[in-house]
Structure 1
Amino acid sequence: MRAMKKGLMSIVGVALLGTQLVACGNTNTANSANEPSNNTDKSEPAATETAAKPVEITWWNFPSFQALDGEVGKYEKEIIAAFNEKNPEIKVNLEMITFEGGPEKLNVAIASNTAPDVIYDAPGRIIDWGKKDLLAPLNDMVTDEVKNDISEAFWKQSSVGEEIFMYPINTAPFMMAVNKTVFEKIGALDLLPLDKEDRTWTFEEYKKALEAVKEKAPDVIPTGFFAKSQAGDQGTRAYLANLGVSRFLNEDNSAVAINTDNAAKALDWIVQATKDKLSVSGAASLAAADVNDLFLQGKLAFTLNYSAVLKAQNVSKKMVEFEDVLLPFPTLDGSEPKLEPYLGGMAVFNNGDEAKIAASKKLIDFIANDPVWGKKNLIQTGGLSVRNSITGLYDDAEYKYAEYARKFTTDAPTIADGYADIRTFWFPELQRALTGGATGKEALDSFAAKANEAITKAKAAMK
């Protein structure tokens, strides 16, 4: 099976995809006719030093970096230009993809043997590709210094067994966000837990804040929810898990744990909150991006799928002026929340061409570790470093809180066997509850049955 799958990756085409928010064809073809440089820097991983002959690779990128001058992909082109100053023998073709359409384009590309050489993404997809033998292991480019400077939890999200398939770069805990300006205008700032260092709060305190918005700012929707597509699923599952003081999966990720009585009651409350106009209407047909758009338009007081990374990327997307502030999810009893980490990193598709694989690793190493561009790139993502030794990058209260909130980080379910299938069952069950087709408990129990079967099948397939 491994040989057959690697054979499928032997023909790697260059698919011309559109950039996010702009017309198709915005592709960078940065190149240089100069002779390859003779780089003898011993600090560079040995595995990346094999790409000395002219080689061409394709980099597909979600908008992982903040747009420069409002142009999606412009910053990535600057990365490539700087990379080519040190590696003129490697031509990098950049293709920007969107979070909305990108996943399906990737599926089509993989199925048609036109996958990119390198990609910046997250564990949810990368680890699934790794389990399917579609990626090249990156162990040979991870030095002992890097290995020891990144927490074991992040390496678990980046690996399948002992093989590292994602080079982790940036992180931030996923949280909620609140339009602080709305609460200032209605004189209800005291209802937010901003005077507490940890900003933790209870379900009852959260509901009081929602009711204040409904009463004093009738043109603003108190809070949001969504269930249209898989994107942003971490927001809804963390919201429910914390409201119900539950976990999404159990400790060893071998079974679903979200179908508790408390989590079911929380889902029932969300359904009722929609009827009571405390939560956005039509959530069953809204995607995560739709809800965040309402937040950026100033029409929503709370949004569920946020982080320091998204806060930075959304600066240019705000339709009105307001201050967005990070908050942890409220818990039923005010206990410490469990926050899933956003984790961004890069992976290399195994297309059977060792020169392309080596060149792709060189690009990753430059993006993550170049003495100048490594830090610059990290800041441009708007995220925190995965490395324990790199802190205090931002002189901003919200970033300082995001760094503090890393203490609440829990393991992400993305490393579970069968996760790619597990997530497909989540939103349909939420939709059933939202549209009155099931109670909260019925929906969560149905999800658990389907997800547990997917986990069992995935484990069996790996034996």
Structure 2
Amino acid sequence: MAAKSKWLALGLIMTLLLTLISACSSGNGEPKPTKEASSQPEPTSQPSEEPAKAEPVEITWWNFPSYQTLDGEVGKYEKEIIKAFNEKHPEIKVKLEMITFDGGPQKLNVAIATNSAPDVIYDAPGRIIDWGKKELLAPLDDMITSEVRGDISPALWKQSMVGDKTYMYPINTAPFMMAVNKTVFEKIGKLDLLPLDRPDRTWTFEEYKLALQAVKENAPDVIPSGFFAKSQAGDQGTRAYLANLGVSRFLNEDNSAVAINTDEAAAALDWIVQAQKDKLVVGGSSSLAAGDVNDLFLQGKLAFTINYSAVLKAQNVPNKKAEFEEVLLPFPTLDGSPPKLEPYLGGMAIFNNGNDAKIAAAKKLIDFIANDPEWGRKNLIQTGGLSARSSITGLYDDAEYEYAELARQFITDPPTIADGFAEIRTFWFPELQRALLGAVSGKEALDAFAAKANEAIGKAKAQS
């Protein structure tokens, strides 16, 4: 035991000596100070700093009535979006201004011309792509994930891009088509004249004419169908209507020239002119706008309206002045072949006003509106549209939305992506008006439109 204790004591002494030698050794021969003797705290490899506060920024958001109203108040839902957005981004002040489809386009043109464009807007490709071609917008590619890029069809991206740059963030979509007052046909006992028993609801021009005649003969207080040619709004309805009645296209496959000036489409336009006289189409259509015709439909005074979609169906709920059930139908075609439907596509764009902070803030707003786990789905439903993303379906428990999903198979490339489209559309309604007023034949009107539009396409291509 004594020997063991002796060796233990010796071991302790050696350990102490080694500790002292280690503690005293330093580069200058001086002992290192202990923590208590040091007057400065020891530095760490990663100094702790408070995260930099986000700088406050204000952006302006101009919005057409893209969402259904809350309590009948235009803009109230948008204010709810902003309130929820500010809970996550209190540093970004969003100034909302609601604009109308009638006066909004001109107001935007004036704002752009005077360098006072909004920072962000919810709109459609017809205007957005034109602004992109004029380099008025900020590209959005850096905010689009590979998941989102792969989840949206090439056809919709084609409407959102100029070259390899994305200028519109696609959010909601739906095929443009017709709508019919189903209740009228039930009351006159002619529901069998509508193609509702066919899963795809396709039908012919002749079947359509029979349905119009049945309304005229059995519901004299209801106008069978509508048409309009007063302003640019809703032009997609008239061009798709004529193109399908004449089994044609508005522009050719590569959007390099007008294709609707065929004999068949001209005959369809001549039929519309005569149908006004026969009281199968609303009279005075040359002086009616798309909104006027849809208002007649919502009042129960029109059996068919030619510019409708699942989006408009939802947004028109508070505007209905009569109780009736409306259902969606594709445009009839001359030979019953599958129709060609233009897609409605809604999305957001950012004007490049030369302020990087505002552009970054606007991207955060777009991302919140489109992709927030709670508000993304809520916002989509409030538009009344289908998702631009292929993986998001079944948003509504409604037969008409199920049909709208099915009708996406008929969507074709819209002419809105054509070079010079902003100018092309200005020639369309004046030529329709000349035909409707009897000044020229349908063929003369469409040929005159083609000559002007083709010149605009060529000029735009030369400048690009």
TM-score by length of 2: 0.89
Q: Does 1:258 align with 2:270?
A: no
Match of 2:87? 85
Residue 187 (structure 2) aligned to one of 175, 185, 188: 185
Identity %: 83
Distance in 2 (alpha carbons) for counterparts of 1:191 and 1:99: 34
Counterpart of 2:265 in structure 1: which amino acid?
A: A
SS at match of 1:301: strand
* Matched ranges for 1:335-414 at <5 A: 335-414=337-416
Corresponding position of 2:12: none
- How far apart in 2 are the matches of 1:420 and 1:452? 13
Q: 1:189 to 1:89 in 2, by over 3 A?
A: same
Selected match of 2:138 from 124, 130, 136: 136
Note the alpha carbon deviations across 1:167-206, whole angstroms, 9 max, x for none: 0000000000000001011111000000110000000000
Amino acid corresponding to residue 325 of structure 1 in structure 2: V
Per the normalisation by structure 1, the TM-score is 0.89
- Give SS of 2:106's match: helix
1:53 to partner: Cα distance: 1.1
Which amino acid in structure 1 is aligned with residue 109 of structure 2? N
Deviation string 1:118-174 (CA, Å, 9 cap, x unpaired) is 000000000000011100000100110100000011111000000100000000000
Following superposition, the deviation at residue 52 of structure 1 comes to 2.9
**1:13-70 CA deviation, whole Å, 9 max, x = no partner?**
xxxxxxxxxxxxxxxxxxxxxxxx979xxxxxxxxxxx93100000000000000111
Q: What secondary structure sits across from 1:222 in the alignment?
A: strand
1:38 to 1:72, Cα distance in 2 relative to 1, 3 A: farther
Cα distance in 2 between the residues matched to 1:231 and 1:38: 49
The count of corresponding residues between Structure 1 and Structure 2 is 415
- Equivalent residue, structure 2, for 1:243: 245
Structure 2's unaligned 5+ residue stretches are: 1-49
Alignment match, 2:333 = 331
1:106-185 mapped onto 2 (5 Å cutoff): 106-185=108-187
C-alpha displacement of 1:112: 1.0
Q: Residue 66 of structure 1 aligns to a residue in which SS?
A: coil
User: What is the root-mean-square deviation in Å for CA atoms of aligned residues?
Assistant: 1.1
**1-side partners of 2:143 and 2:431: how far apart?**
42
Counterpart mapping for 1:19-58 below 5 A: 52-58=54-60
Secondary structure in structure 2 of the residue aligned to 1:447: helix
Query: Could you tell me how far apart the structure 1 residues matched to 2:212 and 2:151 are?
Result: 41
Q: How far 1:368 moved relative to its partner?
A: 0.2
- Which of 224, 230, 240 does residue 226 from structure 2 map onto? 224
AA aligned to 2:393 is: T
Q: Which ranges of structure 1 fall in alignment gaps of 5 or more residues? A: 1-36, 40-50
- Given the alignment, which residue of 301, 304, 307 partners 1:302? 304
What SS is found at the alignment partner of 2:224? coil
Which residue does 1:318 correspond to in 2? 320
- For 2:67, the equivalent position in structure 1 comes to 65
Partner of 1:120: helix, strand, or coil? strand
Q: Report the alpha carbon displacement of residue 113 of structure 1 after superposing the two structures with TM.
A: 1.1
Q: Which letter does structure 1 place at the counterpart of 2:402?
A: K
Aligned equivalent of 2:9:
none
Partner of 1:197: 199
**Counterpart of 1:207 in 2: which secondary structure?**
helix
SS in 2 for 1:368: helix
Counterparts of 1:292 and 1:100, CA distance in 2: 14
Q: 2:347 aligns to what SS in structure 1?
A: strand
Aligned to 2:460: 458
Write out per-residue CA displacement over residues 263-286 of structure 1, whole angstroms, 9 at most, x where no aligned residue.
Answer: 000000000000100000000000
Alpha-carbon distance in 2 for matches of 1:104, 1:152: 31
Distance in 2 (CA, whole Å) between partners of 1:67 and 1:210 is 33
1:167 maps to amino acid: Y
| Cα offset, 1:369, TM superposition | 0.4
For 1:103 and 1:185, the matched residues in 2 are separated by: 41
Please give the alpha-carbon distance, in whole angstroms, between the structure 2 residues aligned to 1:141 and 1:454. 34
- Give the alignment of 1:10-25 within 5 angstroms: none
Amino acid at match of 2:399: A
1:220–1:164 Cα change, 3 Å: same
